[in-house]
Chains A and B, each alone.
Chain A
C-alpha cells in the first residue's frame, strides 16, 4: 500500500559480509567498550553518607505547619482527606476550649491527624487542597521501618516543632 504521509523510508539492509557474520570483531568491540567503563567515573552516590540535593518542587514527608505565633494552622476541615486519591489521611476534629487560643489558630482543630505513609503516593493534592496552608510536603524521604503500624504517622511526627 502506498504511504499516505510520504514519510515512509525503505530500509536498505546490505547482506552481512564475512567479518560481520562471524560476529567476533563485533564481540571484541563490545568488550572493549565495557572494559573502558571500568575506568570511568562511578555514578554511585553513597546514600546514607551523601545525599543528593532535592529539587525545589520535591515532595517528601508531610509537615503540619504553625502560624507566626506558633499555633497549629490546621482546622480539621477534612479537605486534604477528601482530596487524597490514596485515602491515606484520617483525622478526628475537636473544638478549641477557652485558654487554648495560643495552641490552635482556628476554633476547631485536629485532635488526631494520621497519614498512612504506606498508602501515600506523595502526589501533593493535600497540599493544594488545604485552605489554611497547614500541610506541606517539604520533609525528607520517609525512612524505612520494620512494622506496618510504624508507618502510620500521627501528630507527634507530623506537626512542626514549636517556634521557641
Chain B
C-alpha cells in the first residue's frame, strides 16, 4: 500500500508537471497566434501545420544561443534568479484539485497532488516568492535598467498582494475553509459557483492576478519603452527563456486558481443529472476545468492585446487608492450579508 501510494503520487506529479510545461509551451504559440488574429494577421504558420512546431523551434533557438554572463554581475545570483522564478512558478500547481476521484477496481486515485488544509495560503506564499526570482535576477545583473525593473516588480507585487489577500478573505468568509479541495466540492452544480456570491471579489482578484503575473496592463517590470528589457535586460539564452517561460506557467497556475476559487473548479452544470458513472463524471470534470483554464489564458492574452500599459503612478493609485478600499468594502458587505442571512 505504501509503495502504491508513492507510485500514485509520483505519476500524478509527473503528469501535472508535464501538463503544466506543455500548456505553458503552447501558450507561447497561442499568444502569438491570438496577437495575430486580433490584429488581422495570421501569426506564426511556417513551422509545421499552423505553426504547431513553433514552440519547439523557439526552445531550440533558446538553447543554442550564446550565453552571456556580464563580468560585473554577481554570478551565483545571476543564475539563481531565473531558476528561482521557474521553480516557484512550477510548484504552485501542487495544491490545485484537478478532478474528483478515479476508481480502478477498489483502488481510488485522488486527482490532486496534495490536499493540505491551508491550500490558499500555500498558493499565496508561492506567488509571493515568485517576485524573488525577478528581484534577484534584476539586482544581480548590475544594470540600472534591470534594477529599476526589479524594484518595480517588487513594489508592484507587494502593492497588489494586499487587495488580492483581502478579496480572498471575503471569499473565505463565504466558504469557511482554506482547502482548495473543499472549496471545489462546495461549488457543485452551477448556482453554487462562488462567482455568484463574490462578483466584486472576483474582479479584484482578477486585476491582482494580472499584476502578480506581470501581464499587460501591469507589465511595468519589463516595460520596453522605458527600461529596455526591464529585469531581464542582461539575460540571454535559456536563462531568458526561463524568465519568459515562468510568466506563462504563472499565467496557467493563476488561471487554474481562478477557475477553482470562483468558477467551480472541475464542477459543471447538471453533473449528477446525466446518469453517468462516477469515473466519467471525473473525466468530464477534468476536461471542464481545463476548458475554464484555457478560457482564462485566452482572456489574459485578449487583455494584453487590447489594453495599453499603465503609467507607474496610475498603477500605484489603482492598487492603493481603489482596489484596497474596494476589497475592504467587499469584506464588510459580505460580513453584513452573512450575518443577516444567519439571523433570518
Question: Which of A's residues lie within 8 Å of B, judged by CB?
Answer: 27, 30-31, 33-35, 37-38, 40-44
Contacts and interface: CB of A to CB of B under 8 A. Distances in A.
B38 A42 contact: no
A98 to B, nearest CB: 56
Contact of A37 (B40, B42, B303): B40
A38 B38 contact: yes
A40 B36 CA distance: 11
A30 B216 CA distance: 14
Contact of B40 (A31, A35, A41): A41
Contacts of B38: 34-35, 37-38
Given A31-B303, A37-B37, A44-B41, 12 more contacts: A27-B306, A33-B306, A34-B302, A34-B306, A37-B38, A37-B40, A38-B38, A41-B40, A42-B41, A42-B42, A43-B40, A44-B42
Interface string B46-66: 000000000000000000000
Main secondary structure of the interface of A (DSSP, over half): helix
A40 B306 CA distance: 16
A43 B41 contact: yes
Contacts of B40: 37, 40-43
B305 interface: yes
Contacts of B39: 37
Interface in B267-325: 302-303, 305-307
Interface string B19-47: 00000000000000000011111100000
Contact of A27 (B37, B41, B305, B307): B307
Contacts of A40: 40
Contact of A30 (B37, B41, B42, B307): B307
Nearest to A24: B203
10 closest Cβ pairs, A-B complex: A34-B306, A38-B37, A34-B38, A44-B42, A43-B40, A31-B306, A30-B306, A42-B42, A40-B40, A37-B38
Contacts of A27: 306-307
Contact of A31 (B37, B41, B42, B302): B302
Interface string B71-115: 000000000000000000000000000000000000000000000
26 contacts: A27-B306, A27-B307, A30-B306, A30-B307, A31-B302, A31-B303, A31-B306, A31-B307, A34-B38, A34-B302, A34-B305, A34-B306, A35-B38, A35-B302, A37-B37, A37-B38, A37-B39, A37-B40, A38-B37, A38-B38, A41-B40, A42-B41, A42-B42, A43-B41, A44-B41, A44-B42
Nearest to A32: B306
B301 to A, nearest CB: 10
Contacts of A44: 41-42
Nearest to A43: B40
A79 B38 CA distance: 50
Contacts of A43: 40-41
A41 B303 CA distance: 21
Contacts of B306: 27, 30-31, 33-34
Nearest to A27: B307
